[in-house]
Amino acid sequence: MSPAREVLVLNGPNLGRLGSREPDVYGTTSYAGLVRRCTELGGELGLAVEVRETNDEGEMIRWLHEAADRATPVALNPGAFTHYSYGVRDAAAQRTAPLVEVHLSNPHAREEFRHTSVVAAVADGTVAGFGIGSYELALRALADLLRD
């Protein structure tokens, strides 16, 4: 059996507040629950998943550089960085492995400013609107992209 492929699940601002932040929009699963679900599903898919969260744009950019340097696939929920951070977008564009953009809610069903993603154009795809299931679908997509 081959070793599990490392995958990063990177989360931007306010994702660490899952479960308490606007549960009607983002659901009631806690951040710890998200981490647990991602690592468990990763194991089922043959992926060694590491989940990280930051409210710092510079740290997110450094993590994306690390992923590019190590050819590590990424499931990326940029949070609010989605809509305006050209720094995060440019770091994601340097990827050397698959990258899937993830959102718990459907940005297109929300406020107008959320309708634009500066990251989407440099991602392999975007999964949005399925709550925690968005992460599950993103991890399955990464597993499929790695098999192809």
Q: 140: left (phi > 0), else alpha (psi -120 to 50), else beta?
A: alpha
Q: Is 115 a catalytic residue?
A: no
124 is in an annotated binding site: no
Amino acid at residue number 45? L
C-alpha to C-alpha distance for 56 and 69, rounded to whole angstroms: 20
117 is in an annotated binding site: no
83 is in an annotated binding site: yes
Q: Say which of 31, 103, 108, 115 is annotated catalytic.
A: 103
- Residue 57's φ and ψ, nearest 5 degrees, are -60, -40
148 is in an annotated binding site: no
Q: Say which of 26, 31, 84, 115 is annotated catalytic.
A: 26
C-alpha to C-alpha distance for 100 and 15, rounded to whole angstroms: 17
Distances (CA, A) of 53 to 57, 106, 107, 121: 11, 20, 20, 22
105 is in an annotated binding site: yes
Q: Is 26 a catalytic residue?
A: yes
Amino acid at residue number 80? A
Residue 13 CB neighbour total at 10 angstroms: 19
Binding residues: 77, 83, 90, 104-105, 114
Binding residues for substrate: 77, 83, 90, 104-105, 114
Q: Which residues are catalytic?
A: 26, 103
